[in-house]
Amino acid sequence: AQKVTQAQTEISVVEKEDVTLDCVYETRDTTYYLFWYKQPPSGELVFLIRRNSFDEQNEISGRYSWNFQKSTSSFNFTITASQVVDSAVYFCALSEVGVGSQGGSEKLVFGKGMKLTVNP
């Protein structure tokens, strides 16, 4: 079965520090997608990135970067020069594609999340 592990449950940093959020996953699928979502106190899950299992290139978007390593089944997320607005719970997720009554069906399997607090 699919599984996502976020070993860190809570991290507290001071503004401008860099922080890396770890994510390790388990799957038997050869094709899958990995995601990161951010959940601020308001509760809404905000999409950050989706990465295809065949694309191991690292990605950078502003202060955010992602490191995908298939050999270690990891998809880590780094925030550079953290800001107070980055304070949130961050979830790593893995897609599980199945067959539904109407064709392909995709569900997301989430880790337990990592609470990041950035202090001024």
Partner 1 sequence: ETGVTQSPTHLIKTRGQQVTLRCSSQSGHNTVSWYQQALGQGPQFIFQYYREEENGRGNFPPRFSGLQFPNYSSELNVNALELDDSALYLCASSFDLDTQYFGPGTRLTVL
Give the tokens for residue 74: 């990891």
Radius of gyration from C-alpha coordinates of the chain: 15
Q: Which of 35, 36, 75, 77 binds partner 1 (CB under 8 A)?
A: 35
Question: Should residue 46 be labelled a site residue for partner 1 when binding is judged by CB under 8 A?
Answer: yes
Question: Should residue 10 be labelled a site residue for partner 1 when binding is judged by CB under 8 A?
Answer: no
Question: Should residue 103 be labelled a site residue for partner 1 when binding is judged by CB under 8 A?
Answer: yes
Question: Should residue 107 be labelled a site residue for partner 1 when binding is judged by CB under 8 A?
Answer: yes
Q: Are the beta carbons of 55 and 69 closer than 8 angstroms?
A: no
Three-class SS state of 51: strand
Q: Are the beta carbons of 107 and 98 closer than 8 angstroms?
A: yes
Nearest to 95 by CA among 60, 40, 49, 57: 49
User: In the bound complex, what is the minimum distance in angstroms from residue 114's beta carbon to partner 1?
Assistant: 10
User: In the bound complex, what is the minimum distance in angstroms from residue 104's beta carbon to partner 1?
Assistant: 6
Question: Should residue 42 be labelled a site residue for partner 1 when binding is judged by CB under 8 A?
Answer: yes
What does the binding site for partner 1 look like in residue numbers (CB under 8 A)? 4, 35, 37, 42-47, 50, 91, 93, 97-98, 100-113
